[in-house]
């Protein structure tokens, strides 16, 4: 009994909430992201990981170079690259822009799922749209690797594969089951677990993003974290 009371007390003490943070800069940079509030030890871990993810999305340097860790660093680098571009091509009317939006998809005493959607255009034929899911332990703030979300990833893959086949069929995409992998982006929502493949991860650019939600009831036996919020 005493252990149960202690556990309940710890969960209550976590009490993590979120507020929206807006950041803007030249070159049409706009960032709207959630910022965790509450237990200092926990929220520092969550906010650091969210900031790192946003900084990585805004970074346009070499893939071989280490991306900046803070949003301000990434904004400064973005603007510096634009000024270099304008120096090299002064007659160009190309406008650079970046829009990054964050959203808390799901929150329970066990897990918090956050989505980061970014659109960055630096003058190509089209901008780059990318979505990233981050999952955190509510009691520690530590990020949860996808492999730790499920008790049996191999069996789960067979269920997810059926949904991928249906999603690609609707978009008339040639799907190769023998090369199937779970997506990099998996998160909790109110309706179930969402699985998302960004552009090019399954089909060509024209196919866009492929996503679908599997109800908790369908895969509850594979879930490590409780879906009750």
The pLDDT mean for the chain works out to 86
Q: Write down all domains in the chain, each with its CATH number in brackets.
A: 1-144 (3.30.565.40), 145-229 (3.90.640.20)
pLDDT over 90 percentage in the chain = 56
pLDDT over 70 percentage in the chain = 83
CA distance 213 to 39: 31
Q: What is the pLDDT of residues 107-121, one digit of tens each?
A: 999 999 999 999 999
Q: In what order do the strands lie in the sheet with 128-137?
A: 17-25, 29-37, 97-107, 111-121, 128-137
Q: Do the Cβ atoms of 92 and 39 come closer than 8 Å?
A: no
pLDDT at 61 over 80: no
CA distance 227 to 190: 8
Beta-carbon neighbour count of residue 108 at 10 Å? 15
Q: Do the Cβ atoms of 210 and 203 come closer than 8 Å?
A: yes
- pLDDT confidence tier of residue 73, bands split at 50, 70 and 90: very high
Q: What is the pLDDT of residues 99-109, one digit of tens each?
A: 999 999 999 99
What's the pLDDT at 12?
45
């Amino acid at each position: 009994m005493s252990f149960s009371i202690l556990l309940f007390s710890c969960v209550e003490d976590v009490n993590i909430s979120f507020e929206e943070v807006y950041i803007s800069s030249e070159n049409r940079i706009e960032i709207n992201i959630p910022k965790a509030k509450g237990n200092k030890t926990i929220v520092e871990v969550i906010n650091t990981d969210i900031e790192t993810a946003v900084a990585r999305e805004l970074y346009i340097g070499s893939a071989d170079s280490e991306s900046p860790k803070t949003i301000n660093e990434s904004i400064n680098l973005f603007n510096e690259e634009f000024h270099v571009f304008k120096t090299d091509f002064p007659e160009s009317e190309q406008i650079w822009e970046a829009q990054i939006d964050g959203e808390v998809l799901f929150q329970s005493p066990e897990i918090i799922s956050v989505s980061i959607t970014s659109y960055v255009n630096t003058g190509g034929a089209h901008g780059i749209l990318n979505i990233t899911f981050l999952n955190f332990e509510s009691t520690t703030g530590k990020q949860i690797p996808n492999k730790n979300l499920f008790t049996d990833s191999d069996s789960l893959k067979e269920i997810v594969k059926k949904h991928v086949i249906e999603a690609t069929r609707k978009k008339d995409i040639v799907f190769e089951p023998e090369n199937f992998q779970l997506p990099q982006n998996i998160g909790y929502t109110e309706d179930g677990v969402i699985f998302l493949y960004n552009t090019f991860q399954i089909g060509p650019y024209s196919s866009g993003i492929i996503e679908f939600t599997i109800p908790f009831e369908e895969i509850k036996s594979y879930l490590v974290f409780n879906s009750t919020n």
